[in-house]
Amino acid sequence: MTSGNFRFETDSDGIALAVWDMPGRSMNVITEAVMEELSAIVETVAADPAIKGCVIATGKENFSGGADLTMLQGMRATYERLRADEGEEAAMRRFFEESRRLTLLFRRLETCGKPFAVAIHGLCLGGAFELALACHHRIASDAPHTRVGLPEIKVGLFPGGGGTQRVARLMQTGDALQMLFKGEQIRAPMAKGMGLVHAVAPEADIVAQAKAWIRDGGSAVAPWDAPKFKAPSGKVYSPAGMQVWPAANAIYRRETHDNYPAAKAILASVYEGLQLPMDLALRVESRYFAQILRTKEAAAMIRTLFLSMGELNKGARRPKDVPPATLRKVGVVGAGFMGAGVAYVTAQAGFEVVLIDQSAEAAEKGKAHAHALITGQINKGRAKTADRDALLGRITATADYGALAGCDLVVEAVFEDPRVKADVIARIEAVIGPETVFASNTSTLPITGLAGHSRRPDQFVGIHFFSPVEKMMLVEIIKGAATGDRAVAVALDYVRAIKKTPIVVNDSRGFFANRCVGAYLLEGHKMFAEGVPPAMIESAGRQAGMPVGPLSLNDEVALDLILKIAKATEAQVGPHAVDPAQKAILAAMVEERGRLGRKNRKGFYDYPEGAPKRLWPGLAELQPHRLAAEDIDFTELKNRLLVVQALEAARTVGEGVVTDPREADVGSILGFGFAPFTGGVLSYIDFMGVPAFVALARSLEAKHGPRFSVPDSLAAMAESGGTFYGAAKRAA
């Protein structure tokens, strides 16, 4: 039997092999057609007395990334259409049955009476791992890239194909909840230690070992279907169970602040499901899954963190008429923290790197940073000594600008000072070839101004990395007034090669991300100046969905850097461009008290050696008056911190800095952690409803001033009933 997505054959021992190998795709995904074909395979195995059992394997380098999320999006759209045509009850009934098709298919496989084994090689994630969990025996290859996991929580969903119930019956409840909440990819040896797979073997042996398990009489009964099965943590209502659930609920609230419906659904599904037989437990899971699939949080996160990010990573904004760049050698000028990070990720991607600084010693110090980073990977088992030797061999550290000859791309990462950069630009352009693209890594300085020092402004582009470079996934590509398509294309090809997600923005002071971040920091400073207790400011930021509060983020960025940027902006744009209250706070912290942030262990927080950070008690001296906590509207604090960022994002759209809403949303989440459950800064506005957002912003403007003023373009959108994504579709 052969189908479109599986190759199916039976050997002389009566053991079937179903090889999943979707034509025309680099990765297997679960689609409507795959479900139908897999169902036919299960029924064939179950009905044919000559078949003893079946092994499912992959014909690709990875097993599968899971379900096609566009299929799930389509289900949500179908539900909305049915609700309009047939009413809520009929639409919900259809939606529920459709949403549990995968669950029923996997349960049929699990209970069909024939043993199924799975041979896992490469990635096996999401619905694909739920398929593996439904199989009676799981063997994973020992390849370094073999991973299993249930990452659905990261796109606002949860495992709705039986994952919450099977994992919770394989592991201690606390461990299962942690796995489901984190959504991490787990290496094969660890998965075996956790009880998620039965064996780990060389890739060449996994299918043979899976067949041997069936041939030797492997059981077709899942553990939870055995009459005497007991969950690893015992009953929910037991002394052991009561050690788990109160703590789990507290951890859930601490980590999510009730912003993520899918996380709450995981908790409820496991809690309720463990008290029921498997079939009823799966039905409970399916009800929660159908509910979550219809939430705006799931819709927003799927759109931004799966669809949009995937499109941007595949070059959605790349100029179409420019042929792919062939990059071999990259220069990095400036071996400080940022430049050394750029050199590391560039060499890690296989490029030859020339790392330049004022002295050979400074350049070698930057190379030593790369040595420390790769050594950390070795210590974690993620790299080998040979990898370190090869990576360091690709980095040439020198003070000789002449070594930049032959570079295809040069990234300048020197001090954020226009005069310093102008001098470096001249020195670089004296030695590079006419086809070399010049990129400036600047966080705030307009690219058009810097390109004014270049003899080839069409080859000059901004590449704004975020710190720390090796961890942050976003890179802003900035087009100056004269930047040509080839420079943009080369920058995009480079960023994709180093496995970062690029967004393309037009020139502006602060570009996109730092304008929004600056608004967040400013709002925290304004609250501080008003007398809001610092702990409330920080709590409001976290509960609004930000990774850290604005004062903590200021410490990470460095207070002296923010003060320098404020002074530079004031000098170049004028006093009106800087908030006096913010400048006064920063000056008092930096110039009077020497508190620079985390880098000198003194900022808004103290950073004691070997102990958690804590808010600096001396902050009270900088607040002449303090508001009583009970007199503060905490919801308003949260709204202020999100609305002020979203307004700045809307201004960048109105000014033409951002031209694609996908880039604003992806950039806001990856670049500065804007409340992921909203789908990003523009999705936050769209899903709230533009008129409702405008009304909220105007109420804040009336109380707190013009920084909450609504740009004309957004007001017009509210009047017309439009949305950012609707406008983008019309433009396309």
Residue 313 included in any domain: no
Q: Does residue 506 have a pLDDT over 90? A: yes
Closest CA to 334 of 430, 398, 390, 426: 398
User: Where does a domain end: 245, 267, 294?
Assistant: 294
Residues 257 and 333 in one domain: no
Residue 334 included in any domain: yes
Handedness of CA 82, 88, 91, 92 (dihedral sign): positive
Query: Which residue spans within 610-717 are E strands per DSSP?
Result: 614-615
Q: Does residue 3 have a pLDDT over 90? A: no
- Check residue 732 and give its pLDDT: 60
Residue 307 included in any domain: no
- Check residue 91 and give its pLDDT: 83
The predicted-structure confidence for 363-376, as pLDDT tens digits, reads as follows 999 999 999 999 99
pTM of the model: 0.93
Cβ neighbours for 506, distance < 8 A, ≥ 6 positions apart: 478, 479, 656, 657, 658, 659
Residues 247 and 346 in one domain: no
The predicted-structure confidence for 676-731, as pLDDT tens digits, reads as follows 999 999 999 999 999 999 999 999 999 999 999 999 999 999 999 999 999 877 66
Q: In a 3-state reduction of DSSP, which class is residue 409?
A: strand
Residue 117 included in any domain: yes
Residue 585 included in any domain: yes
Average pLDDT over residues 470-480: 97
pLDDT band at 444 (very low <50, low <70, confident <90, very high): confident
Residue 601 included in any domain: yes
410: domain CATH number is 3.40.50.720
- Check residue 1 and give its pLDDT: 58
Q: In the chain, how many domains are there? A: 3
Residue 596 included in any domain: yes
The predicted-structure confidence for 271-287, as pLDDT tens digits, reads as follows 999 999 999 999 999 99
Residues 274 and 355 in one domain: no
Residues 230 and 336 in one domain: no
Average pLDDT over residues 473-486: 97
- Check residue 503 and give its pLDDT: 98
- Check residue 568 and give its pLDDT: 83
* Bridge partners, residue 137, by sequence: 117
CA distance 139 to 142: 10
Residues 568 and 468 in one domain: no
Q: Does residue 288 have a pLDDT over 80? A: yes
List, in sequence order, the alpha helices (H) in 183-277: 188-193, 206-215, 241-256, 261-273
Query: Which residue spans within 616-672 are E strands per DSSP?
Result: none
Average pLDDT over residues 415-440: 94
Average pLDDT over residues 419-424: 95
- Check residue 2 and give its pLDDT: 59
CA distance 156 to 345: 30
User: 574 exposed, middle or buried (CB, 10 Å; 0-12, 13-18, 19+)?
Assistant: exposed
Average pLDDT over residues 440-448: 91
User: 571 exposed, middle or buried (CB, 10 Å; 0-12, 13-18, 19+)?
Assistant: exposed
- Check residue 615 and give its pLDDT: 98
- Check residue 74 and give its pLDDT: 81
Residues 343 and 412 in one domain: yes
E strand or H helix that includes residue 83? helix 69-86
Residues 286 and 170 in one domain: yes
Average pLDDT over residues 513-518: 95
Residue 314 included in any domain: no
User: Whose structure tokens read 């004269």?
Assistant: 482
Average pLDDT over residues 47-68: 97
The predicted-structure confidence for 216-255, as pLDDT tens digits, reads as follows 999 999 999 999 999 999 999 998 888 899 999 999 999 9
User: Where does a domain end: 268, 294, 320?
Assistant: 294
CA distance 513 to 98: 40
Residues 551 and 407 in one domain: no
List, in sequence order, the alpha helices (H) in 500-588: 513-530, 534-544, 550-557, 559-573, 580-587
Average pLDDT over residues 603-611: 96
Percent of residues, the chain, with pLDDT higher than 90: 89
97: domain CATH number is 3.90.226.10
Name the residue range of residue 522's domain: 514-656+658-731
**What is the rounded average pLDDT for all residues in the chain?**
95
CA distance 261 to 274: 20
- Check residue 687 and give its pLDDT: 96
Residues 237 and 344 in one domain: no
User: Where does a domain end: 488, 508, 528?
Assistant: 508
Residues 161 and 275 in one domain: yes
Residues 98 and 163 in one domain: yes
- Check residue 322 and give its pLDDT: 96
Average pLDDT over residues 292-320: 94
Per the CB < 8 A criterion, the answer to whether 421 and 442 are in contact is yes
527: domain CATH number is 1.10.1040.50
CA distance 276 to 280: 6
Q: Does residue 264 have a pLDDT over 80? A: yes
Residues 272 and 343 in one domain: no
Radius of gyration for the chain, computed over Cα atoms and rounded to the nearest angstrom: 28
The predicted-structure confidence for 161-199, as pLDDT tens digits, reads as follows 999 999 999 999 999 999 999 999 999 999 999 999 999
